[in-house]
Amino acid sequence: MTSLETFINYINEHTNNGLSELGPGWGDNEYLEDYAVELLNKFEVEEWLSLKEHWKDKSDLWLECFILLVSQVNNQFVKDILVSIARNGSKESTMTVMEYVREFWDELDPIIAKEIDNKSWSIIKSKMGKA
């Protein structure tokens, strides 16, 4: 099994295939996150490229875990994935990923930064209107 397959299975296991939130022990046990980050650090270029497409059919609960884990690796592949989620993800996943995209905001193409900023503000405004 490749590192990519192991990583995907790991998230599936901890989110019940994207049907449930992370369990209560997740935040208390650094080993859970460390293991996944170790897997990511073993990725080859092809695995990163595949991962960039793999998130698109996943639930927001699955993506929450995914974003938490991939954001702990600092490389251009991760930045591209996080920006892709911000640009193309659901409202929920866009808001989840924004915390991490803001960490490298100054590196973004200004047009892409404006697009993401507009999308996130639109989501915030729509949520405020429902409150």
Asked if pLDDT for residue 34 goes beyond 90, the answer is: no
DSSP line for 20-89 = SPPPTTTTT-HHHHHHHHHHHHT--HHHHHHHHHHGGGS-HHHHHHHHHHHTTS-SHHHHHHHHHHHHHS
CA–CA separation, 130 and 52 (whole Å): 33
The domain locations on the chain are 3-130
Percent of the chain with pLDDT over 70: 91
| Residue 23: per-residue pLDDT | 66
* pLDDT on residue 32: 74
Question: What is the token pair recorded at 36?
Answer: 């996944």
* The two structure tokens encoding residue 1: 């099994």
pTM of the model: 0.89
What average pLDDT does this structure show over 34-63?
92
| Residue (of 97, 103, 92) closest to 126 by Cα position | 92
pLDDT at res. 15: 85
Contacts of 84 (CB under 8 A, 6+ apart): 52, 55
pLDDT of amino acid 116 = 97
Name the average pLDDT for the chain.
89
Whether 93 contacts 63, CB under 8 Å: yes
Rounded Cα distance, 1 and 52, in Å:
19
pLDDT at 37 over 60: yes
